[in-house]
Amino acid sequence: MELLLRSAEHLKERGFEDARLNVELLLAHVLRCRRLDLYVNFDRPLDSGEIGTFKELYRRRLSHEPLQYLVGETRFMGLPVAVAPGVLIPRPETELLAEKALEMIARQTAESVRVLDIGTGSGCIAIALAKLASKEVIVDGCDASSEAINVASRNVEANAVAGRVTLIQADILSDGIAQMLRPPYDLIVSNPPYVPSGEIPQLKPEVRAFEPLAALDGGEDGLRVIARIISLVPLLLGTGGTLMLEIGYNEAYPVIALLSAQGFRDVQTMKDYAGIERVVSAGLKEA
């Protein structure tokens, strides 16, 4: 308890949000116990090995290394998701994309739905759709990063969806990407890089210094990858299919313009809990 209280106070003094929660999670990780157990066993003395391990993780947290990387995991839609440097840490905002995709899947009349998750990263969206959908969902998750594919593979196995999620290492920006995938898909989802390049230096140090730039940087206007995805969708989406994208702050209007120019229909935007238009969905006009 002494270690917990002193460390939390120090983190708070250094300007960290949720300082006590950070320390609780780090200490529970070191002791391999639940947060509750820290208080049940508040008077337990720590041995030198435990103190040393905690101090090393605490030092790294003071340098703003993300808590999720330090403990090696997080949760997404209630599911355990392993994360590591080189893979974007799942955000609560992205759960909105997964929730809306699950709602769309539930409305489908087909018994099985085929999904493409572009830029799958940790695999969190693909796994949530395969695990939580009300019907059979078969997901292809693609990512250019071998690190991401390795982490996603671990998560697929850990969440027992290996028969429903296939991982494909492929760069959406490369030529011939459509031939590397398995269209047609009923639903395409993506949380693409959408932060404008000029805004990267203003991000929190946990993000700009530790998370993979390729998963964040959307080019000068933030739309480089989004525009690429929209241009490829006609090659990948089946008749009556839907595209769902997570987008950044103030990007709804230009994304809607891109979709309209490509002949999409039923374009809708959905706001996150902060009131920001965070998800856009659209379908292709029939020929």
Helix 48-62 crosses helix 19-31 at what angle (to 10 degrees)? Answer: 140
Q: How many CB atoms lie within 10 A of CB 88?
A: 21
Q: How far apart are CA 148 and CA 214, in angstroms?
A: 11
| Percent with pLDDT over 90 in the chain | 93
SS3 for the chain is CHHHHHHHHHHHHCCCCCHHHHHHHHHHHHHCCCHHHHHHCCCCCCCHHHHHHHHHHHHHHHCCCCHHHHHCEEEECCEEEECCCCCCCCCHHHHHHHHHHHHHHHHCCCCEEEEEEECCCCCHHHHHHHHHCCCEEEEEEEECCHHHHHHHHHHHHHCCCCCCEEEEECCCCCCCHHHHCCCCEEEEEECCCCECHHHHHHCCHHHHCCCCHHHCECCCCCCHHHHHHHHHHHHHEEEEEEEEEECCCCCHHHHHHHHHHCCEEEEEEEECCCCCEEEEEEEECCC
Confidence of residue 285 (pLDDT cuts 50, 70, 90): confident
Confidence of residue 286 (pLDDT cuts 50, 70, 90): low
- pLDDT tens digits for range 26-57: 999 999 999 999 999 889 899 999 999 999 99
pTM of the model: 0.94
Question: Architecture of domain 2-63 in CATH?
Answer: Orthogonal Bundle (1.10)
- pLDDT tens digits for range 214-243: 999 999 999 999 999 999 999 999 989 999
Confidence of residue 287 (pLDDT cuts 50, 70, 90): low
Structural contact between residues 218 and 248, judged by C-beta atoms closer than 8 angstroms: yes
| Percent with pLDDT over 70 in the chain | 99
Residue spans per domain, the chain: 2-63, 74-284
Q: Do domains 2-63 and 74-284 have the same CATH topology?
A: no
By DSSP bridging, strand 165-169 and strand 237-246 are: unpaired
Residue 90 tokens read as 């799942």
Mean pLDDT score, 67-93? 96
Q: What CATH code would you report for 74-284?
A: 3.40.50.150
